[in-house]
Amino acid sequence: MTVTVQPSSRSMSETPTTRILVGYDGSQSASAAIEIGAALLPEAEAWIGHLWTPPFASEPLRQRLWKGAAAVNEFVDAIEREGAGEAHRLAAMGATLAVAADWDAHTLVERTYGGEGVHLTQVAEKLDPDLIVVGSRGLGGAKAVLGSVSDMVVHYAARPVLVVPHPLLMAERADVTDGPIIIGWDGSAGAQAALAAVARLFPTRTVELASVNQGDQHTPSAGSHDVIPLAAHGRHATAARAVAETLAGHARHRRAALVVVGSRGRSAVREALLGSVAVATVHHAHRPIMVVPHVTSPDVS
């Protein structure tokens, strides 16, 4: 692991209230995740994590090195040297974006041989941040490929994960600053953990609880919190998809800054294949989503 502290615009006397690990690969979606994450959680301390994966260098760089190499061993050595430099430059670019967004930013570069999503959660176990932030290209339906980095982080992380879809429309970006936070509520341990995480991470934001009821289901109570009942709409192959799209529609109507859902955490392959509310919401809500595994927090009343 390589960690490099980057300069920050904030004074040394200030203590960051939130520690964040960002998965950064230099893409537009990863850059958008930093921008939106900083709008939701300003003045946090962030580690910009770049995972250096095979073939350990971009294709244009590999082509240049291959043409200039006299032998295979020389080519391999050059890939190691130049690929490492490229990885650190990418992480530094992400840190520059984070500093510009008023985060106290560090870079973190690790080599991995695949499974970036799972490896990012392992990095999080060592770093112990309050939140993981990842970008998503916002592909729904048949284009939502199971096994994407954001999916794997959501499945395996033992702490809250903020997934920022890309692209967001101008109105959706504006909602991030002033909109309420919508929590999908079903009374479960996962939903209670989601409520606790929101209270901890966003103590000054307006919070609304929404329960999607199917058929003759009753609206579960939430102690002293009001719960908005929503009737599931549309016909879908899974109940998870119906709940996710109803939540997404309500969030759009309320111009929500963020939708928060609980999950079981470390989901089994069977649940991943069948689809959970958490993953369905990530795929179909065109605004930031935070998924909270119930293992991260005690119940709240």
CATH of the domain at 136: 3.40.50.620
The domain boundary residue, chosen from 126, 147, 166: 166
3-state secondary structure of 56: coil
Of residues 7 and 131, more confidently modeled: 131
Of residues 12 and 23, more confidently modeled: 23
Q: What is the mean predicted confidence (pLDDT) over 13-19?
A: 67
100 shares its domain with 117: yes
Q: Which letter does DSSP use for residue 282 in this model?
A: H
Least confident range from 11-25, 67-81, 144-158, 209-223: namely 67-81
pLDDT at res. 146: 40
41 shares its domain with 58: yes
56 shares its domain with 142: yes
pLDDT at res. 277: 82
pLDDT at res. 295: 67
Share the mean pLDDT of the chain: 81
Q: Where are the alpha helices (DSSP H) in the chain?
A: 28-40, 59-68, 72-100, 116-127, 149-156, 170-178, 189-201, 239-254, 269-274, 277-284
14 shares its domain with 154: yes
CB 277 within 8 A of CB 183: no
CB 143 within 8 A of CB 265: no
116 shares its domain with 211: no
Distance CA 201, CA 131 (A): 9
53 shares its domain with 120: yes
pLDDT at res. 255: 97
pLDDT above 50 (res 3): no
pLDDT at res. 67: 61
How many CB atoms sit inside 10 A of residue 208's CB? Answer: 17
Of residues 66 and 257, more confidently modeled: 257
Count the domains in the chain: 2
Distance CA 264, CA 295 (A): 8
Query: Structure pTM?
Result: 0.83
101 shares its domain with 204: no
CB 260 within 8 A of CB 182: yes
10 shares its domain with 128: yes
161 shares its domain with 82: yes
- Highest averaged pLDDT of the listed ranges 1-10, 60-69, 262-271, 274-283: 274-283
210 shares its domain with 298: yes
For tokens 């339906």, the residue is 141
14 shares its domain with 48: yes
- Identify the bridge partners of residue 19 per DSSP, sorted by sequence position: 45
The domain boundary residue, chosen from 141, 166, 191: 166
146 shares its domain with 57: yes
pLDDT-derived band at 56 (thresholds 50, 70, 90) equals low
The domain boundary residue, chosen from 166, 199, 221: 166
- Highest averaged pLDDT of the listed ranges 98-112, 226-240, 259-273: 98-112
Q: What is the mean predicted confidence (pLDDT) over 219-239?
A: 80
pLDDT above 50 (res 87): yes
pLDDT at res. 147: 46
Least confident range from 46-50, 72-76, 96-100, 179-183: namely 72-76
Range of the domain at 105: 1-166
Distance CA 267, CA 75 (A): 41
